[in-house]
Amino acid sequence: MEETDAIRAALPSRPANGADYRAALNESGAVLLISDVKTPAKTAFAFARKPDALDADKQQGAVTWNFHLAPSEGITIEFVMAYGEGNPVTANAVHWAKQFGATFDEAGKLWEKRYLDTFTPGNGFFEGNLPVLETDDPALRRNYYMGVVTMLLMLRDQLPGSPRVFSAGGPRWGSSIQFIWDTGMMGNLFALLEPKVMKTYLIQTLQWDLEQYFAYDYYAKRASGHRYVANYPMLFRLATTYLRVTGDRAFLSQKVGDKTCLEQLDRLALNYQKYLKPDSGLADFGGDKNQFLECVPTYIHATAGINAAYVAMLREMATLHDALGHREIAAARRAAADKLVAAIPGLYAAGKGFWRARYPDGQQVDIRHCLDFQFVAKSIAEDLSLAVRKEMRDFCVSELLTKSWMRAQSLQDPAAACSIRSDHGPMGAYSGWPPETADGLCHLGYWKEALDFYRRCEAVTHEGAFSQGHVLYGPKSREYDAPVRIADSLTCREALCGANFGDVMIRCFFGFRPDFDGKNLLWKPDHPRGFIGELRHLRYQGSMYTIRSDEQGIHLEKE
């Protein structure tokens, strides 16, 4: 018995302002062209297998194939996409489609070489290399390497704004844009693989007015966006990660705009003071939800997570000033951190494990979101009692984590019904957040739970690389064992934030976190991680190291 299927695919246009785009067929009627009326940019789609129908309605294109498939029978559809400027775009697409097999094989060989280059010291393509993970634990291996693959998928080396860019996502949105927040989640990978590119990015970005910009468009060659409250701690995290991993102390005295890098870092760490409220001792960052979590209307004003992030920044600056011999400044930063952290417990929902946001009228609103969990756990865990740490762990495990993924927002959050996006709301999570949550659990002292959760997330990788968000769906979507898949709608099919699955393996599970003076390279080395494995060819200060994890903890050996 045969089944008849019609396969119809809508091809890209710009939904935000369709008037800027035109969709049409070329003269032969065999190629779909998408043109930007404001620039010379074009995208061409050509097909190795001739479609049964190819249409364009000025705003988008549609291609149709009709197949008769027996049960369990499959079919492969082969098409190519070319983009750029002028006539070569169409010519390239037609040429590649006619020689699809050879073109596809050539691309595969290039990808294989690029992947091997990533882990090969002195590879000739990347300035550095990433370490090789060796372990008998298949879930750990797959998550680590899929995190790296996700990063490589975001590599762009043909954009006019820079010869080497790790864009936010693709292929639908963000293909030429690099966001601070996403980039901050792969700082160790960035510093190990492309330190000079990272330094250039930092020099550029540290000069921005973060009240106006959150990203850089390397096609248009301009900063774009608006204020994101989290960009201050995330840019600070990127810069300090660069300093720790590369040991480039000279960067601190380098002029970045009208300040040295050290002064720029101080500027970021002290930014909260503009928003400090004397009555609460907390920084209130305003009421525009689009500058926080966009689809979570209650996550505004003075939140525990953002205030905790500034405590960590101040303490990091104190450590850095101490390393430079600036004792008085270090003491001032440490005192400021102590004062700010003392105000944060007033936001805690006692006995419940989550935090609240404080509004200007004194009202405090429950926030059952992973962002507060992550920032608080990673920033001020040592300031919390063992009881509070356990309550935070219990909240995270019972309300956020699922069998194969997590919820960014608890179903019990008062704004859950208003938070419809799969990356920020209760029906899924942004792919950078499971690694951040695992990292937070480790900081709270719950290593086993962190590792178990990290392992379980391996389930999503069988659809491909990490996306902007994975969604919990179906009749069991509100249950612990909800099935999970790559989210559709307004999310990127692949996204840079997923590289965090590789980054957290290096910085947390293998504890690579050098002091600013380079005397200690490992974080909590005496604490067993819960798995056996090695991270080999980890580059630091011109030498290669292996970090080994066993029943006693983690151990560093020079190769």
165 and 91 in a single domain? The answer is: no
456 and 401 in a single domain? The answer is: yes
68 and 182 in a single domain? The answer is: no
Q: Yes or no: say if 216 and 205 are a contact pair by the CB < 8 Å rule.
A: yes
435 and 306 in a single domain? The answer is: yes
- Domain CATH for 170: 1.50.10.10
State the Cα–Cα distance between residues 328 and 300, nearest whole angstrom. Answer: 34
Alpha carbon distances (Å) from 168 to 142, 149, 371, 512:
22, 14, 19, 25
State the Cα–Cα distance between residues 32 and 373, nearest whole angstrom. Answer: 47
For residue 117, being part of any structural domain is answered with no
For residue 118, being part of any structural domain is answered with no
State the Cα–Cα distance between residues 545 and 559, nearest whole angstrom. Answer: 5
Q: CA dihedral defined by 499, 500, 501, 505, rounded to 10 degrees? A: 120
What pLDDT digit, counting tens, does each position of 287-312 carry?
Answer: 999 999 988 999 999 999 999 999 99
25 and 145 in a single domain? The answer is: no
430 and 519 in a single domain? The answer is: yes
Domain boundaries, position 155: 130-558
403 and 283 in a single domain? The answer is: yes
The structural domain count of the chain equals: 2
79 and 167 in a single domain? The answer is: no
DSSP code at position 236: H
pLDDT tens series, the chain, 559 aa: 333 344 444 343 344 445 577 889 988 889 999 888 878 888 999 999 899 999 988 778 889 999 999 999 999 999 999 988 877 899 999 999 999 999 999 999 999 999 999 999 999 999 999 999 999 999 999 999 999 999 999 999 988 899 999 998 876 667 888 999 999 999 999 999 999 999 999 999 999 999 999 999 888 889 988 999 999 999 999 999 999 999 999 999 999 989 999 999 999 999 999 999 999 999 999 999 999 998 899 999 999 999 999 999 999 999 999 999 999 999 999 999 999 999 999 999 999 999 999 999 999 999 999 999 999 999 999 999 999 999 999 999 999 999 999 999 999 999 999 887 888 899 999 999 999 999 999 999 999 999 999 999 999 999 999 999 999 999 999 999 999 999 876 678 889 999 999 999 999 999 999 999 899 999 999 999 999 999 999 999 999 999 999 999 999 999 9
User: H or E element: which one contains 547?
Assistant: strand 543-550
What pLDDT digit, counting tens, does each position of 6-32 carry?
Answer: 444 434 334 444 557 788 998 888 999
User: H or E element: which one contains 485?
Assistant: strand 484-486
369 and 508 in a single domain? The answer is: yes
What pLDDT digit, counting tens, does each position of 401-416 carry?
Answer: 999 999 999 999 999 9
Last residue of a domain, one of 98, 122, 149: 98
For residue 116, being part of any structural domain is answered with no
What pLDDT digit, counting tens, does each position of 245-280 carry?
Answer: 999 999 999 999 899 999 999 999 999 999 999 999
For residue 105, being part of any structural domain is answered with no
φ, ψ (nearest 5 deg) of residue 175: -70, -20
State the Cα–Cα distance between residues 159 and 97, nearest whole angstrom. Answer: 24
State the Cα–Cα distance between residues 143 and 365, nearest whole angstrom. Answer: 36
DSSP code at position 348: B
For residue 106, being part of any structural domain is answered with no
φ, ψ (nearest 5 deg) of residue 225: 100, -145
453 and 336 in a single domain? The answer is: yes
User: The tokens of 19 are what?
Assistant: 């008037």
87 and 215 in a single domain? The answer is: no
